[in-house]
């Protein structure tokens, strides 16, 4: 038989961490600090809006780009948070999670041969989505000494004649790093000078613990060259609803919607009704959850530093990214041995790019009691090494 | 600022240790200890209780809600009458409310007869009481923001990116 698999699919690197995840799944007594999703349930009023829509028989497709009311709420959200004006009809669009929005943005913008700059460590889908378009992913290893922010020098060093897109992802998974207005300003300037487009994954925007989240789209001249990716998963604890959105220039959004129409048709209708409730009446839920994450963030950072695992202070998302370099082992070894001897799972930093070597990702989306237990196991593990 | 966040934090868990509270609030331990002491002194923190689901014990316990109507007069206001209610140990809660009746009492007794006795021999005879209606609580689903008997299960995949 001929090779049933396409070259693109075959050449795509599978996510290396899957094997480790499978090992963890086979250990029922293992506990974990390895999840990438909130520990809160979706607030009930949001769930109820979904249920209610089902009761009323709202079980049909919506318009391809999403329900008009929901797109209006997305536009209102950007107005409210950043003072940005988007035409809800042509410049916003509802997706199946931030995941789909990332994919569609890359497909709409990139051609084979184009280069897209992707700072690492980062979420695992950016490079594969870029590669799927035939573009080349040019990664920048971000430095802990810069608190894992992208510096203008690093960016300039990666730009070539072929560079078309800069991928930004702050607050960051896995480092928890954020970029403030001041940090973004020189980056925006370079994008304007070098005529770069920006795809910015701001799915953790609402989980920022130092000042307000800043978006690069808010700098003069940037809105027309930036696609913002966002979603409901993290801010409203709605991972399973598979709902996200994008906002950007009409020209790009139009193409994204076209591709989405063929691939997806429309985002789940029930979820869109729930999302409408979330954007309209969910600000208090966000404030409550953010405060709670922030308390646990302080607790975990303090504990890790106390046990000698150096950890820069992350001001976003729900992850800390401590260095394990002082222990003379690789991230993989650390994670494997921690799992074997303490039955505790964490994610090795290398799952997010090779520059994650020497780090592990710890999620603090767990109860205080669970964090206490898990951190005491790490403490015990480290003590056994010295 | 610290005060508000502290109250929100300990409201649902009064057992977090002081040193953890301090770290979680990004404050000094002494500052948190002082704040708690002040809150107690100012009558803002009024107690620390344990939420017990008696249904799951062998203890017999009957709870009732009692609506009470009263007659007030020029020199006998609600506060004075309220005292006549809440001084009884059996009365767990006592609220002045708006609407069809004046007071709502929550009563705890060992048996239904005990509660009935309380109403007929203690409560009704109070001279300002003009009427009562007793509702026995048959099942408690949720108290103080906590769904009773519900064990929270983490339904997430153990690992995700
Ligand atoms: C940085 C980042 N972007 C996007 C996603 C995908 O989120 P969604 O559930 O909206 O597809 C995740 C999920 O973990 C993430 O961490």
What was the pLDDT predicted at A15?
Answer: 84
Residue A384 has pLDDT above 80, yes or no: yes
Q: Does a structural domain hold residue B93?
A: yes
Q: What is the DSSP letter of A359?
A: B
Indicate the pLDDT class of residue A180, thresholds 50, 70 and 90: very high
Find the mean pLDDT for residues B7-16: 95
Percent of chain A at pLDDT above 70? Answer: 100
What was the pLDDT predicted at B40?
Answer: 98
Fold that domain A60-281 belongs to in CATH: 3.40.640
Question: Which range of residues forms the domain containing residue B23?
Answer: 2-41
Q: Would the CB atoms of B24 and A295 count as touching at under 8 Å?
A: yes
A212-215: Cβ within 8 A, 24+ apart: A212/A81, A213/A81, A213/A171, A213/A178, A213/A316, A214/A179, A214/A180, A214/A181, A214/A183, A214/A184, A215/A82, A215/A84, A215/A184
Q: Does a structural domain hold residue B160?
A: no
Q: Determine contact: B154 vs chain A, CB below 8 A.
A: yes
Indicate the pLDDT class of residue A36, thresholds 50, 70 and 90: very high
Say whether B11 sits in a helix, a strand or coil.
Answer: helix
Residue A57: C-alpha distances to residues A42, A44, A53, A263, A279 (Å): 22, 20, 6, 25, 22
What was the pLDDT predicted at B118?
Answer: 96
Q: Does a structural domain hold residue B16?
A: yes
Cα(B160)–Cα(A234) distance, integer angstroms: 13
pTM: 0.95
Give the domain ranges of chain A.
Answer: 7-42+284-385, 60-281
Is B32 in the same domain as B108? no
Q: Does a structural domain hold residue B133?
A: yes
What order of strands is seen across the sheet that includes strand A136-141? A92-95, A244-247, A226-231, A197-201, A163-168, A115-120, A136-141
Cα(A278)–Cα(A243) distance, integer angstroms: 11
Is B59 in the same domain as B87? yes
- Could you tell me which chain B residue has the CA closest to the CA of A237? B156
Is B29 in the same domain as B67? no
What was the pLDDT predicted at B133?
Answer: 97
What was the pLDDT predicted at A143?
Answer: 97
Say whether A208 sits in a helix, a strand or coil.
Answer: strand
The Å distance, Cα A199 to ligand 1 centre, comes to 14
CATH of the domain at B131: 3.30.70.920
Q: Is B43 left (phi over 0), alpha (psi -120 to 50) or beta?
A: left
Report B:60-99 residues touching A (Cβ under 8 A): none
Q: Does a structural domain hold residue B150?
A: no
Complex ipTM value? 0.92
Q: Does a structural domain hold residue B161?
A: no
Is B10 in the same domain as B75? no
Give which of B127, B138, B146 is closest to B55, Cα–Cα: B138
Cα(A64)–Cα(A89) distance, integer angstroms: 11
Of B24, B154, B158, the CB nearest to A25: B158
**pLDDT tens string A199-235:** 999 999 999 999 999 999 999 999 999 999 999 999 9
- Element containing residue A109 per DSSP (H, E): helix A97-109
Q: Does a structural domain hold residue B100?
A: yes
Give which of A251, A214, A200, A263 is closest to A87, Cα–Cα: A251
Of A25, A173, A291, the CB nearest to B8: A291
**pLDDT tens string A128-176:** 999 999 999 999 999 999 999 999 999 999 999 999 999 999 999 999 9
Find the mean pLDDT for residues B54-78: 92
**pLDDT tens string A62-91:** 999 999 999 999 999 999 999 999 999 999
Find the mean pLDDT for residues B50-59: 91
Is B124 in the same domain as B79? yes
What was the pLDDT predicted at A239?
Answer: 98
What was the pLDDT predicted at A16?
Answer: 80
The DSSP-derived string for B72-127 is -BTTB-HHHHHHHHHTSTTEEEEEE-SSSSSEEEEEEESSHHHHHHIIIIIITTST
How many distinct structural domains can be found in chain B?
A: 2
**pLDDT tens string A271-327:** 999 999 999 999 999 999 999 999 999 999 999 999 999 999 999 999 999 999 999
What was the pLDDT predicted at B74?
Answer: 86
Q: Which residues are CB-contacts of A189 (< 8 A; sequence separation ≥ 6)?
A: A152
What was the pLDDT predicted at B150?
Answer: 78
Please, what is the end-to-end C-alpha distance for chain A in angstroms? 56
Fold that domain A7-42+284-385 belongs to in CATH: 3.90.1150
**pLDDT tens string A86-97:** 999 999 999 999
Determine if ligand 1 sits within 6 Å of the CB of residue A98.
Answer: yes
Mean model confidence pLDDT for chain A: 97
Is B29 in the same domain as B69? no
Q: Match 């709409």 to its residue by tokens.
A: A108
Indicate the pLDDT class of residue B151, thresholds 50, 70 and 90: confident
| Number of other CB atoms surrounding residue A210 within 10 Å | 12
Enumerate the β-bridge partners of residue A361: A347
Q: Would the CB atoms of B157 and A35 count as touching at under 8 Å?
A: yes
> From the CA of A214, how many Å to the nearest CA of chain B?
23
Q: Whose CA is nearest to atom 15 of ligand 1?
A: A123
What was the pLDDT predicted at B157?
Answer: 93
Is B76 in the same domain as B22? no
Q: Determine contact: A37 vs chain B, CB below 8 A.
A: yes
Mean model confidence pLDDT for chain B: 94
Q: Determine contact: B16 vs chain A, CB below 8 A.
A: yes
């Amino acid at each position: 038989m001929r090779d049933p698999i396409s070259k693109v699919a075959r050449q795509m690197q599978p996510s290396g961490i899957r094997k480790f995840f499978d090992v963890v799944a086979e250990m029922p007594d293992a506990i974990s600090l390895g999840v990438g999703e909130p520990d809160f349930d979706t607030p009930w009023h949001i769930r109820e809006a979904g249920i209610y829509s089902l009761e009323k028989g709202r079980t049909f497709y919506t318009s391809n780009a999403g329900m008009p009311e929901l797109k209006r709420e997305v536009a209102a959200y950007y107005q409210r948070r950043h003072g940005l004006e988007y035409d809800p009809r042509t410049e916003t669009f509802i997706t199946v999670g931030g995941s789909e929005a990332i994919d569609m943005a890359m497909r709409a913008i990139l051609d084979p041969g184009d280069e897209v700059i992707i700072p690492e460590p980062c979420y695992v889908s950016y490079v594969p989505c870029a590669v799927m378009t035939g573009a080349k992913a040019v990664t920048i290893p971000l430095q802990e000494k810069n608190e894992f922010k992208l510096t203008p020098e690093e960016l300039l060093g990666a730009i070539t004649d072929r560079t078309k897109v800069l991928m930004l992802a702050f607050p960051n998974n896995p480092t928890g790093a954020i970029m403030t207005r001041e940090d973004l300003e020189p980056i925006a300037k370079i994008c304007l000078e070098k005529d770069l487009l920006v795809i910015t994954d701001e799915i953790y925007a609402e989980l920022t613990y130092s000042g307000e989240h800043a978006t690069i789209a808010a700098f003069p001249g940037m809105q027309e060259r930036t696609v913002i990716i966002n979603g409901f998963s993290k801010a409203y604890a709605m991972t399973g609803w598979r709902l996200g959105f994008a906002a950007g220039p009409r020209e790009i959004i139009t193409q994204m919607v076209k591709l989405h129409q063929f691939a997806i048709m429309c985002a789940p209708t029930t979820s869109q009704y729930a999302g409408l409730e979330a954007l309209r009446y969910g600000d208090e839920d966000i404030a409550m959850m953010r405060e709670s994450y922030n308390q646990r963030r302080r607790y975990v950072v303090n504990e890790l530093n106390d046990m000698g695992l150096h950890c820069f202070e992350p001001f976003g998302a729900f992850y800390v990214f401590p260095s394990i370099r002082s222990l003379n082992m690789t991230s993989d070894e650390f994670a494997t041995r921690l799992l074997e001897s303490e039955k505790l799972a964490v994610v090795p930093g290398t799952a997010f790019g090779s520059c994650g070597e020497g780090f592990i990702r710890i999620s603090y989306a767990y109860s205080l009691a669970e964090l206490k237990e898990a951190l005491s196991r790490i403490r015990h593990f480290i003590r056994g090494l010295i | 600022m610290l005060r508000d966040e502290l109250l929100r934090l300990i409201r649902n868990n009064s057992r977090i240790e002081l040193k953890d509270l301090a770290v979680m609030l990004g404050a000094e331990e002494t500052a948190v200890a002082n704040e708690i002491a002040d809150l107690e002194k100012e009558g803002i923190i009024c107690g620390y209780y344990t939420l017990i689901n008696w249904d799951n014990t062998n203890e017999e316990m009957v709870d009732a809600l009692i609506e009470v109507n009263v007659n007030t007069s020029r020199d006998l206001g609600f506060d004075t009458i309220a005292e006549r209610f809440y001084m009884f140990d059996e009365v767990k809660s006592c609220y002045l409310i708006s609407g069809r009746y004046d007071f709502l009492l929550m009563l705890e007794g060992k048996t239904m007869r005990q509660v009935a006795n309380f109403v007929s021999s203690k409560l009704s005879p109070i001279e300002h009481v003009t009427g009562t209606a007793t509702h026995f609580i048959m099942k408690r689903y949720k108290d103080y923001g906590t769904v009773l008997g519900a064990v929270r299960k983490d339904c997430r995949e153990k690992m995700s990116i």
